Amino acid sequence: MDGHLAGTTQPSAPPSRLLRCRARQWRVLDHPVVAHAAAEFTSGFEDATLQFFDAALPFCRRLIDVGGYLGMLSLYAADRVEEVTVYEPSPSHQAFLQANLALNPESARRTTIVPAALAAEAGEHTLYRKAFADSGASLFPVVERQRLLRGAPEATVSVLEAAPALVEAGLDAATLLKIDIEGAEYEVIPAIADLLRRGLPFLQVSFHPFNLVAEGPAIATTLLRLRRMLDVVGALRAYDYWYVPTGEGWREVTPASLPAFVDSWLLQPKPVARIATPQYGFIEGLGFSRRRLDLQGVDAPRTAALVPTLGC
């Protein structure tokens, strides 16, 4: 007789689907919220991020995912590194993240979830969202979209001081550090500037200037965004290679070309889909590396499939 009690049944695994993306696959919960996130993930929207991941991961043994959402990027990378640490403060996101990880036991064994946000200082903050399991949930009560939107409080969440938290997570030169935290990157990156200069991990950041909104006239918001952007530029100057996705392919920025890049790109207003006003600075996901990466040679198919299957 095995070790299970007679007459009992084992709980069945929740319904799941097999997600395929760029020759990789993993299981995700069969739930409308996850299906929506998976469809966006495989739509081409994340192509630039996935290209940078594919180019950087061969040199990495660790992924630190700050702003893990439902875990798509962590699961995409998990079988190519030794360990993954995911920071995710939203209780609703955590539930889906944990469920998705549970469907992938090998990835789950090497993944640690930290239920917290990162900032320059530790404390507790209100997390705001525009809808349930909103991928744009943030620490900012008011953000810009087609108009200024005020989010509803989701929860009071724990916030860790970024630099010591990343040291504890093992940040080093063999780390891919991904940051997607809906505007808080403008605080976190300057706060970890010394840590980045010492370790020079591979770094991928999604920038959200439209989440920075100042009280008062519109010029106050524009100046706030410019100041925060320039703080980030100063914090990242230690990197020899900046990779900027554009409509014509990747733009590689080196220290020699940085002054022209600031003038021709960062200081120019740019339209952003679904945002009311033109934006300054970074408006996309950028990659930063201490070594030159062959991003032009990375295959980037525009289609992928969410394949329905029976549960595990």
Q: What is the CATH number of the domain that holds 51?
A: 3.40.50.150
When divided into structural domains, the chain yields a total of: 1
Question: What's the rounded Cα separation, in Å, for the pair 93 and 79?
Answer: 22
Judge whether 299 lies within some domain: yes
How crowded is residue 306: how many other Cβ atoms within 10 Å of its Cβ?
17
Judge whether 277 lies within some domain: yes
Sign of CA dihedral 111, 55, 279, 189: positive
- 294: closest CA among 248, 241, 258? 241
- The pLDDT of residue 14 is 87
Judge whether 181 lies within some domain: yes
What's this model's pTM, rounded to 2 decimal places? 0.91
Judge whether 275 lies within some domain: yes
- The pLDDT of residue 13 is 76
3-state secondary structure of 18: strand
Judge whether 6 lies within some domain: no
- The pLDDT of residue 10 is 53
31, 124, 293, 295 from 49: Cα distances, Å: 24, 30, 13, 11
Judge whether 57 lies within some domain: yes
- The pLDDT of residue 1 is 35
Angle between helix axes 32-41 and 91-102 (nearest 10 degrees) is: 80
Per-10-residue mean pLDDT of the chain, 312 residues long, equals 43 86 95 95 91 96 98 97 98 97 97 98 97 93 95 97 98 98 97 98 97 94 95 96 88 94 89 91 92 70 34 28
Which tokens is 248 given?
A: 């014509």
- The answer to whether residues 119 and 184 touch, using CB atoms and an 8 Å cutoff, is yes
* Residue numbers of the domain that contains 193: 22-116+171-304
Dihedral angle of Cα 244, 250, 254, 257, to the nearest 10 degrees:
-90
Beta-carbon contacts of residue 26 (< 8 Å; ≥ 6 apart): 18, 19, 75, 76, 78, 103, 104, 107
For 216, counting Cβ atoms within 10 Å of its Cβ (0-12 exposed, 13-18 middle, 19+ buried), the class is exposed
- 162: closest CA among 202, 114, 129? 114
- The pLDDT of residue 234 is 95
